[in-house]
Structure 1
Amino acid sequence: MTARRTHGDPAPVPRAADAVTDAAAATDERIAQGLAGGEEECLAVAYRRWGRLVHTLAARSLGDPREAEDVTQQVFDAAWRGRANFRPERGTLPAWLVGITRRKVADALAARTRRTELAATLGASLEHEHRSDAEPERVLDRLVVTEELARLPRVQRDVLELAYFADLTQTQIADRTGMPLGTVKSHARRGLQRMRHSLAPAGAGH
């Protein structure tokens, strides 16, 4: 039953969740203002409304639906973390999301280029080792490492590839990627832990 309101009583202030529960009814402006104000419900509505747009743009540029899914998650994560930089009066929320998408797609393409270059370097190294009759164990080690790296989350993989194949220090990796040094160390540690866990059963009997 709805409580009766006497004359002169102030109107109840709607809760944030009430204002955006119906995604179809919420206006773009309301969603944009709520996101800028830190309302998580508005982020969820924005994802439902424009997630397909972001994914389509990423998939067209990358040609890989799975990688586009990763980029889509990154876009909305970046939108939430960078919401203080969004100004609804300067442009629409969809346009802002498209701008973030373009930057994340560029990052993904750059990472893909780095992986291609590293793979080419590894291939040349393996070919050289084969021609010089290097120990098969060295070749096997590189192949195992490459396979395990491919199973890691993208950021952890990028950090360890730069460390393992490009022979960069963690400080140099931080400078190249723009990530804080502590973040680089965290990704490297977690990636190595996952690789050790994956390789442990195979090496337990040796």
Structure 2
Amino acid sequence: MTAHRITDDVAAPTERPSRHVPPGCGTDDRIARGLVDGDEYCLDAAYQRWGRLVHGLAARALGDPREAEDVAQQVFVAAWRGRENFDPERGTLPAWLTGITRRKIADALTARTRRTALAATLGAALEHGNGAADEPERVLDRLVVIEELARLPRVQRDVLRLAYFADLTQVQIADRTGMPLGTVKSHARRGLRRMRHNLALAAAGD
């Protein structure tokens, strides 16, 4: 991964004649200050120096090298986008990157748990013990879920649709919608709680 690949997710970078990290990004302090100043070479240097650390933390936590690669890229994209929030006078760049990594790992684990929990919860509520061969009932189950989503307030509905039908993480939803991450999480929790309540009532009525 290079600075060009990372920043492709943010904005098209200026073409550079050389891929070598310049001497100005040779020390940890220069890398940190260059990153804050928006120097893509220093972003590249940061990845070269601490990319393995970030990937290792993610791989140990997630147990999936591919998912760890995705998290590592998300970390450096987030570092690039949020570089103005980093103050070299208050902490080191690797410590800051480690903090971002932990948050991205938590998001990845939450997304994984969310997908598993939703499948189990909705499956138990909607299958009613029918076998997998009951294809008409399976189609109806999906229609019920879509109908329940339609009953939610617009923001909750939009967040859950992006999460479960577009398969976006909460961080990606926040980026796409412009909502703060905490707001996205709050809407997702409320929407799921309401859906589970309505489905439980429907099952009891049946």
Could you state the TM-score of these two structures normalised by the residue count of structure 1? 0.59
Alignment partners' CA distance in 2, 1:111 and 1:166: 21
Residue in structure 1 matched with residue 112 of structure 2 by the alignment:
112
Alignment partners' CA distance in 2, 1:128 and 1:58: 38
Residue in structure 2 matched with residue 64 of structure 1 by the alignment:
64
Go from structure 1 to structure 2 and tell me whether the alpha carbon gap of 1:71 and 1:170 turns closer, same or farther (over 3 Å shift): farther
User: Does 1:179 pair with 2:174?
Assistant: yes
Amino acid paired to 2:28: D
Residue in structure 2 matched with residue 94 of structure 1 by the alignment:
94
Alignment partners' CA distance in 2, 1:83 and 1:103: 16
Go from structure 1 to structure 2 and tell me whether the alpha carbon gap of 1:63 and 1:71 turns closer, same or farther (over 3 Å shift): same
CA contact (8 A) 1:54 1:97 kept: yes
Residue in structure 2 matched with residue 49 of structure 1 by the alignment:
49
Residue in structure 2 matched with residue 139 of structure 1 by the alignment:
138
Structure 1 segment 11-26 matched on structure 2, within 5 A: 21-22=21-22, 26=26
Go from structure 1 to structure 2 and tell me whether the alpha carbon gap of 1:75 and 1:173 turns closer, same or farther (over 3 Å shift): farther
Gaps of 5+ in 1: 1-15, 146-162, 185-206
Identity, % of aligned positions: 57
CA contact (8 A) 1:174 1:180 kept: no
CA contact (8 A) 2:127 2:138 kept: no
**Aligned-pair CA distance for 1:182:** 3.5
Could you state the TM-score of these two structures normalised by the residue count of structure 2? 0.59
Go from structure 1 to structure 2 and tell me whether the alpha carbon gap of 1:164 and 1:140 turns closer, same or farther (over 3 Å shift): closer
CA contact (8 A) 2:31 2:45 kept: yes
**Aligned-pair CA distance for 1:58:** 0.6
CA RMSD of aligned residues (A): 3.7
Gaps of 5+ in 2: 1-15, 161-169, 180-206
Amino acid paired to 1:137: P
Paired residues in the alignment total 148
**Aligned-pair CA distance for 1:90:** 0.8
